[in-house]
Chain A
């Protein structure tokens, strides 16, 4: 007999959802979806112990539970706080949360270089998205930003600590996915850095996944670095027979050329299945892969501007939708305005069309 998992009710921004006991507030919000989902820069579902560090997912618990309705005095990190039966959570409906989150975004951007145009992560950077949603246009920071030298972590991965927001995701990945732990955090405070201590190459077969988990451009793929902008490439899902991983990947193509291989990511930007270094770095020919079709990219992402996804032609006609009624012009604009006279062939005019052109045609006709 499998034990029945108890379902409990939680309300987030006045939307109720039933979730299994032990779910975190963030996961419950993701079940609802949409705007009530708090942003998460450090939490990663597949990495044990991750989360709680970046503080962007702070929410207000206005009612602890049915049994103990007291509100929690402090804002809590939704990624690491479990839901209780009858809990009421405020995310975007709480001015306190918005204020604190704006503060956190400001802190995250404080020492982060604002040179997105030259950063390889631009277009798929979570911090960039977060900055657009919550950040201010200007900065109140007038001091020198913290900088580090670039480091090569082996032949495939480049570490640029200047862009790092210390989410610790790569540390957890290196710790949990690979056998040797050669990757950690040195120093503390604002001078803490992700490092291998000595310039040691990360030669583990799954270490390439640290690139995928990095929310910013601190860890980048050296086989793709500065080859292209992500929004000029077209992502397609593909697979191959691989001995050590699932072989399910996303190929980033330009024409027929494979520029980059990454793991497939879900709608929250998290890797679905880890892939090995061989698939990621060495299989750069279309013939290596069985292509399944275009990968779905969120409509709001800059990557979707390439319109590579198959355009679905609407099957319903206007007539069918409107009970057989023909589309009707509400007003013929040409009868009241002399601009854009349909009799004027714009392609026949030398130079740009001006009001003079239309006046002339009016007179002559």
Chain B
């Protein structure tokens, strides 16, 4: 049984309420942290090697140390709970079942960063979780862990919950800040980064829900102890939200030492592919990251076992690897059509593009239309090359990473499943009736020495 740090107590009866959470050892991290100097808390997080759990995997301690601290200017901590990536639902689980863990992590992080006003920007669709969080905030306030003069240390902190209005783009940190300020959620042009000029022009740190929750075990165990869990630069535990054609979809906490094969097939986690089918492909980190065919998912291009951690999943770059991303693990079995799947993603990104910069605004719509054409059985062979050229011209040329996120799934689908796209354009009648199946599954990828 792998070590659990975040969800260990998530299923204790009544853990949603302060009394039970406190009885189970909650808010000890706040007591411990508030006795330390704020900078020591930052140092502790640095030592833990914690990496951002929202998708990019940037070192959290380093991000905190970049925060500008000019005199007389407030600093803000914003919790990014705008979890909208298709296939990702780990934050929802965490906030719904054990909301106090997030509140505790927020108090510690606010203390470390000197933020007296901390915001939780939550996805608008998570309406029922707002009530859960607000109740948790009220309870924490009643018991002196939040509000004025926390635990008699003189540190004040208020947490506010702000609902988004249903835009994926507001999960991008600068768009989130714009939206929080009451403006249209367009990403800002960086630099300046939020650490210098963020919310209302003040230094701001934006962190994912899981990242902030992970601060609690870091404080309880100590940074060095936390760093011993996991492997290499992938320290601690990670929540994986598994979905798709598997027997046991759900949120799993893993310690990043298990292999992808074990994660999919062991009964402790996904429990194998549903309905006795075979594994075709998988998106290991949320819809934005490249899709991998089964042979490249279980083993890297060099023939080594692929593990569920930041380094191993990205082994081979985008040519033969993928990314840890946000941990949205989407599994496709042999009955799934990659073209249709890519079309669904492309439609999502077209719908969610903010329309600010031209490559993303126009390119996402174009890609969707071409994919729709191929899926409908009206495609021609040049469409595949055109699709490749469009994604190449979007990637890296946009203001925010949404352009990249829209381009990568298309690129990876063509890279690994080109034969399936070609089958669609060559068998126009047939592709309307049946799927391509598993032909690519057994293919060995040639790896240059």
Contacts and interface: CB of A to CB of B under 8 A. Distances in A.
A110 B359 contact: no
Contacts of B365: 111, 189-190
Given A107-B393, A143-B369, A184-B184, A189 B189 contact: no
B351 interface: yes
Contact of A190 (B169, B353, B393, B398): B353
A290 to B, nearest CB: 42
Interface residues of A, number: 33
B129 interface: no
A192 B358 CA distance: 12
Contacts of A110: 362, 366
Contacts of B359: 55, 103-104, 107
A52 interface: yes
Interface string B349-381: 011111111110111111001000000000000
Nearest to A189: B353
Contacts of A54: 357-358
A188 B353 contact: yes
A71 to B, nearest CB: 14
Contacts of B353: 188-190
- Chain B interface residue number, banded: 20 to 34
B358 to A, nearest CB: 5
B351 to A, nearest CB: 6
Given A75-B397, A140-B386, A189 B357 contact: no
B398 A55 contact: yes
A268 interface: no
Given A77-B189, A189-B351, A108 B397 contact: no
Given A80-B189, A189-B351, A74 B362 contact: no
Interface in A181-207: 184-185, 187-192
B396 interface: yes
A58 interface: yes
A75 B375 CA distance: 33
Interface string A117-136: 00000000000000000000
A141 interface: yes
Interface in A24-59: 51-55, 58
B361 A52 contact: no
A321 to B, nearest CB: 50
A192 B361 contact: yes
Interface of B: 167, 169, 184, 189, 350-359, 361-366, 369, 386, 392-393, 396-399
Interface of A: 51-55, 58, 74-75, 77, 80, 99-100, 103-104, 106-108, 110-111, 140-141, 143, 165-166, 168, 184-185, 187-192
10 nearest A-B residue pairs (beta carbon): A103-B393, A192-B355, A52-B189, A107-B362, A189-B353, A190-B365, A110-B362, A189-B355, A107-B358, A143-B369
